[in-house]
Amino acid sequence: MCVASLSFGEIRASDRTDGAYKRKTVHLTSQSIVVNGVSAFSNGWGSVKVFDWREGVVRLHGAVADLTFTAATNLIYTNAGLDIAVGSAAVSDDNLTGATDANMVSAIAIDPRNSDTNHLSGFMQTLGQTNFNGTATALDAYVNMNVDSNDISAVVTGTISGTITFTYSNLGDY
């Protein structure tokens, strides 16, 4: 088991092997994430790195995530349009296109369940197999978020908690 404590939370990763398949479960506990609210005319976005794979080609057979986002302030509005995804790179613009920012667990739209705390929760999964080339540089995993333009008024710091489970094979490094 690998444990990494970060600024305002904890990320733990545990491994399990089932024959040729490996299962990596990443547990997030109150992990801090900053969502940038750029302007009223563009979406806000933010990322937090949650895992470094070992070098090599990783075949991702599937992944499941059950994550909760809680905003530290009321700057994300009630009934906000918020998308969460898991990708091999941090989101760098105001949408989750799937090229690298949503290529491990596809984006899902979730809305606040409690207007007092801006508590968001969603279940996401991806099916199918994808190869990631981490031979030159080890592959990363990021939780990426996007908030619709009229639903965020400023930079928001919040926390993410929950689990992400990857089922994969490491095909080796060369």
- pLDDT tens sequence across 73-126: 566 665 667 788 889 999 887 778 768 888 888 887 765 444 434 444 445 556
Q: How much is the pLDDT for 120?
A: 45
Q: How much is the pLDDT for 73?
A: 59
Q: What total number of domains does the chain contain?
A: 1
Tell me how far the alpha carbon of residue 158 is from its chain's centroid: 13
How many other β-carbons are positioned within 10 Å of the β-carbon of residue 52?
15
Structural domain range at position 142 = 2-172
Q: Is 128 exposed, middle or buried (0-12, 13-18, 19+ CB in 10 A)?
A: exposed
- Whole-prediction pTM value? 0.80
Nearest of 53, 15, 52, 49 to residue 31 by alpha carbon: 49
Largest CA distance in the chain: 52
Give yes or no for residue 49 having a pLDDT over 90: yes
The CATH code of the domain that includes 126 is 2.60.120
